[in-house]
Amino acid sequence: MSIKVDSGGLIRSVPRLLIVGSFLPGFELERYAGGDLAKKLMAVGGKVITTSNVCSRPLRLLDMLRTVYLRRRDYDVAHITVFSGLAFFYAECVVRLLTFIGKPCILDLHGGNLPDFASRHPARIARLFSRACLVVSPSRYLYAKLKPMRPDIHLIPNAIDIRQYSYSFRHPLGARLLWLRAFHRIYNPMMAPAVLARLLETRPQAQLTMVGPDKGDGSYEATRKAAAGLGVLDRIRFAGPVPKGSVAQVLGEHNIFLNTTNIDNTPVSVIEALAGGLPVVSTNVGGIPYLLEHGKTALLVQPGNVEEMADAVKRLFSQPELAGRLAENGRRLAESFDWEVVLPQWLALSTQLISDRITRSTEKPGFAKSNIVGKNE
């Protein structure tokens, strides 16, 4: 660990962290789970190693394992981002190696599919959780669903820099809609043009911007085809991915945020929309009801229900006091996700984990799980 002195003259330790995830080239570090944490720790003087940025999936796993072993003297704690599917296999392999070489690890759970994966593979989840010193969830949804597998899961939310988002509620509310996710079938991007088509019946000036990368499963092409079939292609701007630093500007150019997903956890894009003062209309799936409250911080609709989502948007136009209340409450909620709140929680967990292991190593040999008390719910 490195020792730093903060602005108040207090001495604090910053752990040397290895973050294991898929950090593919061509994207900013903060686009990835664990990437924001890496940047924040480096900003306060911490040393961070990330792996891996290799495009080939088999070679990526080999690179992860190689980094874990060869650089074992360069980090104090390994932080493993855990998703379902193939990424879960990556986590299993990496944690096995970390256990073998005696390095502590923190599992950082991500992805709305993880509870379903856990129900289909409970033994694999249990084994992985048992080998980790700490398991962290960014959402109350994953915490609630996976707590039976590990009762001492810690709750540390996804974070944003709240100062980057200028709060500005638009009154009167315009009809410039924003959709901001990756083009993938789980996010149901085809729903957004259908909602726009219904809005144009009463709001002929309505426009939609769709921001996000093409994940290559055909969803992008299907969305454009659906828009053309509905006759609304000329009312949609497909902006592609935007730099993280430009998200606040994009939010400022729009009035209402649509989240059409079929599977979700605690999407940072929704938190960013709340921070920017956009009323949010979202499908009520996965972790969304754990994040948003219908009628207080957003309007929630059934997944795939185009008519219900369009009616919810129309309701914002007809009830400006409701739209304003959602925007104000949403901003307050977003402020609780600020890095100034979240980063100290990560630092406390990491440094306490190292301290506990050092203490135990002087008392008795062998490995024991951490008894850290963190922010649980």
Tens-digit pLDDT profile for residues 74-96: 999 999 999 999 999 999 999 99
Q: Residue 367 pLDDT more than 60?
A: no
Could you give the 3-state DSSP secondary structure of residue 196?
helix
pLDDT confidence of residue 6: 45
Could you give the 3-state DSSP secondary structure of residue 119?
helix
State CA 29 to chain mean position distance.
Answer: 13
What percentage of the chain has pLDDT greater than the value 90?
74
Find the angle CA(73)-CA(78)-CA(84) to the nearest 5 degrees. Answer: 145
Give the chain's domains with CATH numbers.
Answer: 2-159+338-363 (3.40.50.2000), 162-335 (3.40.50.2000)
pLDDT confidence of residue 299: 98
pLDDT confidence of residue 40: 86
Q: What are 102-150's pLDDT values in tens digits?
A: 999 999 999 889 999 999 999 999 999 999 999 999 999 999 999 999 9
Q: List CB contacts of 231: < 8 A, sequence separation 6 or more.
A: 197
Q: What are 5-34's pLDDT values in tens digits?
A: 344 433 346 778 999 998 876 655 666 667
Q: Which amino acid is at 334?
A: A
Strands 256-259 and 280-283: parallel
What percentage of the chain has pLDDT greater than the value 70?
89
Average pLDDT over residues 317-336: 96
Check: CB of residue 92 under 8 Å from CB of residue 128: yes
CA distance linking residue 174 with residue 368, whole number of Å: 57
Q: What are 198-235's pLDDT values in tens digits?
A: 999 999 999 999 999 999 999 999 999 999 999 999 99
Q: Is the peptide bond before 137 cis (omega within 30 degrees of 0)?
A: no
For the chain, counts of helices (H) and of strands (E): 14, 14
Looking at per-residue pLDDT, the higher value among 73 and 1 belongs to: 73
Residue 190: name the closest of 215, 239, 225 by CA.
225
CA atoms within 13 A on the CB side of 330: 32
pLDDT confidence of residue 240: 95
Q: Residue 162 pLDDT more than 80?
A: yes
Q: Which helix (H) or strand (E) holds 176?
A: strand 176-180
